[in-house]
């Protein structure tokens, strides 16, 4: 069986995603999203019962590393456009920039709102040490450790991305919501498996994603793009119905001209 170390070596994965490189801008600013520092409790302190649970979850997740689930967890670390392909089975469509540009733009512009702006205040305040650094052990994403060690663990930005993307995808195909939400949950838990987040980081990201998703519903640019994406998805599924054309109302001027 392909070991996890060999899988990482041959996969050529790059982990941080960049909107700037794709000429896309987030829908919301840092100031527009709810403050993660205000809405989240403090992370568990070492020695607390809650932290013991975090340690238990970390050790249990390590058992999955040299398994297909561990391999998937490494793939889930990639936050460029390929993250959308991880929902292909549950969503029923492959979302690529070349083939579904409206849906791709909707999701990629929203993603930054979840994982970056939604999480940054609590991350910067608590500066929580990540599990691999706490234990002095390697993670499954060694390419990212140099920057992860200086980036707060609480809450998880990657997990907020997975949760947030799953919420949006459910609005585009509500009939697939169970599978989509399960894939979002799996993607979030992947961060525990690779050793870069505690379980309480994942739980906190769930709250952040819900708050950002709610705020997006009040953004006019997001809503306009959602309508384009919904039409695109329905066309891809062969179920789009052209809106009925409204009959032109005759004005007094038009009636006079007709006479």
What's the CA gap between 193 and 101, in Å, rounded?
32
What's the CA gap between 117 and 26, in Å, rounded?
9
Q: Are 251 and 64 in contact (CB under 8 A)?
A: no
- Enumerate the H helices of 136-198 as residue ranges: 145-148, 157-172, 177-193
177 prior amide bond cis, ω within 30: no
Q: What angle do CA 40, 45, 47 make, to 5 degrees?
A: 150
Q: How far is CA 196 from the centre of its chain?
A: 16
The tokens of 213 are what?
Answer: 């998703």
Q: Are 177 and 84 in contact (CB under 8 A)?
A: no
Q: Which residues contact 121 (CB under 8 A, 6 or more apart)?
A: 35, 36, 37, 38
155 prior amide bond cis, ω within 30: yes
Q: Scanning the structure block, which residue is given the tokens 């450790």?
A: 145
Q: Are 142 and 8 in contact (CB under 8 A)?
A: yes
Residues classed as catalytic: 158, 191, 197, 201
What's the CA gap between 206 and 185, in Å, rounded?
9
């Amino acid at each position: 069986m392909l070991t996890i170390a060999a899988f990482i070596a041959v996969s050529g994965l790059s982990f941080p995603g960049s909107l700037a490189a794709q000429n896309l801008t987030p829908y919301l600013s840092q100031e527009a999203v709810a403050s993660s520092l205000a809405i989240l409790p403090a992370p568990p302190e070492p020695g607390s019962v809650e932290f013991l649970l975090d340690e238990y979850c970390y050790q249990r997740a390590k058992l999955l590393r040299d398994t297909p689930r561990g391999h998937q967890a490494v793939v889930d670390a990639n936050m460029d456009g390929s993250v959308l392909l991880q929902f292909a089975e549950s969503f029923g469509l492959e979302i690529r920039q070349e083939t579904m540009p409206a849906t791709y733009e909707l999701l990629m512009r929203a993603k930054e709102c979840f994982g970056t702006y939604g999480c940054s205040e609590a991350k910067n305040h608590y500066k929580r040490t990540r599990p691999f650094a706490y234990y002095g052990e390697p993670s499954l994403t060694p390419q990212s450790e140099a920057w992860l060690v200086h980036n707060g663990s609480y809450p998880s930005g990657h997990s907020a991305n997975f949760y947030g993307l799953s919420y949006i995808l459910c609005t585009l195909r509500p009939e697939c919501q169970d599978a989509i939400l399960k894939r979002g949950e799996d993607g979030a838990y992947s961060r525990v498996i690779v050793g870069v987040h505690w379980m309480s980081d994942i739980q906190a990201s769930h709250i952040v994603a819900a708050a950002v998703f709610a705020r997006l519903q009040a953004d006019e640019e997001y809503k306009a793009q959602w309508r384009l994406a919904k039409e695109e998805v329905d066309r891809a599924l062969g179920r789009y119905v052209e809106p009925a054309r409204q009959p032109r109302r005759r004005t007094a001027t038009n009636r006079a001209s007709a006479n």
